[in-house]
């Protein structure tokens, strides 16, 4: 899978760990930065990753800031992007099964690295269930057309 990834300074260390993890599993990673722990602004990176997913340049996106909140708020401003802030494997699984989430948001300051990697693994391996959930995804698209 081709995966776009981005973080701010608070998510930088976890981003580097996740990149290694993804590459070891055979995924292609497109890293939109940041490149260090120097203070920066999370919307800059959320925008690039969201656009990559929206355009189809990446199959999925992963965004990391301190809490994951700013990244999820920003990424969800983009049509076609369904960004899910996940704190555990259950949320990661459900965000794929029911919400067909195409961007995963994580908090580098609230998750241990091993848990974060486990969340990433579950999120990448779980398929959208479709069925009644497709109707709800269609309704989200309707909201986007009417209000974005």
* Using rule CB under 6 A, residue 14 touches ligand RB5: no
If one counts every other C-beta atom within 10 angstroms of the C-beta of residue 128, the result is 16
Determine the interface stretch with ligand RB5 among 63-71, 98-106, 122-130, 135-143 (rule: CB under 6 A).
63-71
Catalytic residue status for 98:
yes
Question: In this structure, is the dihedral angle defined by the CA atoms of residues 15, 17, 19 and 25, taken in order, positive or negative?
Answer: negative
The three-state secondary structure class of 137 is helix
Task: Given the residues 9, 27, 41, 98, select the one marked as catalytic.
Answer: 98
Q: Of these, 42, 45, 78, 123, which contacts ligand RB5 (CB under 6 A)?
A: 42
Give the one residue of 21, 31, 47, 66 binding ligand RB5; rule: CB under 6 A.
Answer: 66
> What SS3 class is residue 2?
strand
Enter the tokens of residue 140.
Answer: 């989200």
Q: Which is nearer to ligand RB5, 43 or 80 (CB)?
A: 43
x-or-dash string of contact with ligand RB5, 115-144, rule CB under 6 A: ------------------------------
Q: How far apart are CA 54 and CA 129, in angstroms?
A: 21
HSE at residue 67, side-chain half, CA atoms within 13 A, is 4
Interface with ligand RB5 by CB under 6 A: which residues?
Answer: 8, 10, 42, 65-67, 69-70
- Among all residues, which ones are annotated catalytic? 65, 98
């Amino acid at each position: 899978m081709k995966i776009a990834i981005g973080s701010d300074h608070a998510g930088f260390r976890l981003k580097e760990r996740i990149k290694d993890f993804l590459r070891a599993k055979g995924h292609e990673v497109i890293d939109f930065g940041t490149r260090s722990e120097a203070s920066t602004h999370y919307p800059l990176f959320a925008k690039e990753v969201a656009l990559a997913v929206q355009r189809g340049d990446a199959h999925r996106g992963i965004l990391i800031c301190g809490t994951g909140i700013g990244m999820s708020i920003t990424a969800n401003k983009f049509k076609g992007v369904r960004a899910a802030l996940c704190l555990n494997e259950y949320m990661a699984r459900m965000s794929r099964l029911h919400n067909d989430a195409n961007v995963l948001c994580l908090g580098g300051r609230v998750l241990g690295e091993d848990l974060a990697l486990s969340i990433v693994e579950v999120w990448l391996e779980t398929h959208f269930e479709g069925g009644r959930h497709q109707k709800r995804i269609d309704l989200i698209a309707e909201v986007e057309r009417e209000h974005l």
